[in-house]
Amino acid sequence: MPAADLSTAALLSDGITSTPPSFVRSILKAASDPSITSFAGGLPNPISFPQEQLLESMQRVVAERGADAFQYSATAGIEELRQWVAARINQRFGTNYTADDVLITTGSQQVLDLLGKVLLNEGDGVIVEKPTYLAAIQAFALQRPRFHEVELTSEGLDIEGLERALDAGAKMVYLIPNFQNPTGLTYTADARCQVREALSGRNVVVVEDDPYGELRFEGDSLPYIGGAALPHGLVMGSFSKTVTPGFRMGYAITKDHELLHAMNTAKEAADLHTNVFGQFAILDYLTHHDLDEHLIKIRNLYREQAKAMTDAMEEFFPDGVTFTKPEGGMFLWVTLPEGMFSMELFPKALERGVAFVPGDPFYAQPGTRNTLRLNFTNADAETIRDGIRRLGQVIAESFLQ
Ligand SMILES: Cc1ncc(COP(=O)(O)O)c(C=O)c1O
């Protein structure tokens, strides 16, 4: 009798074995040493956590909601929070969403997981930006789809590439139109129209992931590409970057109720409903305080930090290195000259006390890249300048080798 295979590996599903590991977690570990200036994380600045107000809200929830705050609840989320989400988007964009169009989720990350589960069979096409949010690649990869990457441009998306990918067949298009993670790029108004045109008449779910939309520190906010204007348009959002990520509070909003119903069923199977105490606490915070006032503080801080980073890059980065200048959000993107690999630069930068995320994990197709992501929201202006100076030195030295 052949020896039995008693390994765990033999038991794991095809879905999980084809899902890339969380590369960022290992990078973050390397960068967690306090002597390292880390531009690698993706954490909001703690200024965005209104701790005292949330404490008051939690106390009020216990006093006013009583047992309801501790009981099982509806999968869709509590009605008043769904109403708040619909009203906020209507106020910003002149849409006519209602509470029935909203699903409250355990972080907006759960929307990605649910979309993968309800839309994708093995081999189905998913169109993503090149590069894209690495945990979206992970969430979809569990279903073993075919990824079609479409090149991001400084204005939006390569439309011919998008048309080609749509012609090849796809069930979902996943886009991050505002201050994209990882690049910091934003689609212009014209680019949004072009993408909308390319998508209209196609039977495809159009997902716009917008956790950073309210963190615009330059220019005016722009309408969604699809949203309610496309039959299968879905927008996903989050309270992680505006109030707190720890509560894990996100949402999907769409007029496609068949899709929403399917997601509701998948959510029921996943976790029954989102933490109800957290939903009441966030709702209480939002109804007793002016979110816009709070957001002004975050935007002012992030604008200053982004400027400190781009000013330092202009001063210290050698010619031939390019970078984006975000109008909001938390990240910017650096492109090194052809032939340089950011993965090789990483250990050298770490030796000099600076960390970043190499571009590699942000692409759906594996490969070695000359790009890297920098987070600007977690250090003061002086630390940013000093970190960028050191990173500039490491890049310049690599030029010489
Ligand atoms: C583009 C994008 N989508 C979704 C998420 C998930 O956010 P959360 O689950 O905290 O709402 C993030 C988090 O960084 C992100 O950058």
The number of angstroms, rounded, from the C-alpha of 215 to the middle of its chain's C-alpha atoms is 13
The domains located in the chain, with CATH, are: 9-49+293-400 (3.90.1150.10), 65-288 (3.40.640.10)
> What's the whole-number mean pLDDT along residues 44-60?
94
The phi and psi torsions of 48 (rounded to 5 degrees) equal: -80, 5
DSSP H stretches of helix in 289-327: 291-316
Report the chain's mean pLDDT, rounded to a whole number. 94
pTM recorded for the entire structure: 0.95
Q: What single DSSP character describes residue 229?
A: G
Q: What is the pLDDT of residue 76?
A: 98
- The fraction of the chain above a pLDDT of 90, given in percent, is 86
- Whether 48 lines ligand 1, by a CB cut-off of 6 Å, is no
- Span 228-272, pLDDT tens digits: 889 999 999 999 999 999 999 999 999 999 999 999 999 999 999
**pLDDT (average), residues 344-369:** 92
pLDDT at 98: 98
Which residue, among 109, 97, 58, has the nearest Cα to 279 in the 3D structure?
A: 58
Residue 28 scores a pLDDT above 70:
no
Residues 6+ apart with CB under 8 A from 345: 336, 358, 372, 394, 395, 398
The mean-pLDDT minimum among 40-44, 161-165, 382-386 falls in: 40-44
The pLDDT of residue 27 is 67
Predicted local distance difference test score (pLDDT) of residue 26: 61
**Cis geometry, peptide bond prior to residue 358 (ω within 30 degrees of 0):** no
**What is the reported pLDDT for 108?**
98
Say if residue 314 is exposed, middle or buried (CB neighbours under 10 Å; 0-12, 13-18, 19+): exposed
Cβ of 133 below 6 Å from ligand 1: yes
pLDDT bucket at 367, cuts 50 / 70 / 90:
confident
- Residues 267-310 pLDDT 10s: 999 999 999 999 999 999 999 999 999 999 999 999 999 999 99
Q: Is 279 in the pocket of ligand 1 (CB under 6 A)?
A: no
pLDDT score for 48: 85
For 65-124, the pLDDT digits (tens) are 999 999 999 999 999 999 999 999 999 999 999 999 999 999 999 999 999 999 999 999
pLDDT given for residue 2 in this prediction: 74
- Whether residue 244 has its Cβ less than 6 Å from ligand 1: no
- Distance from the CA of 48 to the center of ligand 1, in angstroms? 15
Q: Which residue has the higher pLDDT, 314 or 26?
A: 314
**Contact between residue 266 and residue 110 where contact means Cβ atoms under 8 Å apart:** no
Residue 109 CB–ligand 1 contact under 6 Å: yes
Residue 174 has φ and ψ, to the nearest 5°, of -115, 115
Which of 180, 209, 362 most suits a substitution to test ligand 1, by most atoms within 8 Å of the C-beta? Answer: 209
Ligand 1 pocket: which of 240, 244, 279 to mutate (most atoms within 8 A of CB): 240
Residue with the smallest CA separation from ligand 1 atom 16 is 181
Please state the atom number of ligand 1 nearest to the C-alpha of residue 238.
Answer: 11
Residue 401 has pLDDT above 70, yes or no: no
Does the C-beta of 240 come closer than 6 Å to ligand 1?
A: yes
Q: Please check the confidence at residue 383 and state whether its pLDDT lies above 90.
A: yes
- Using a 6 Å cutoff on CB, does residue 250 contact ligand 1? yes
Q: Give me the pLDDT at residue 368, please.
A: 82
Residue 23 has pLDDT above 70, yes or no: no
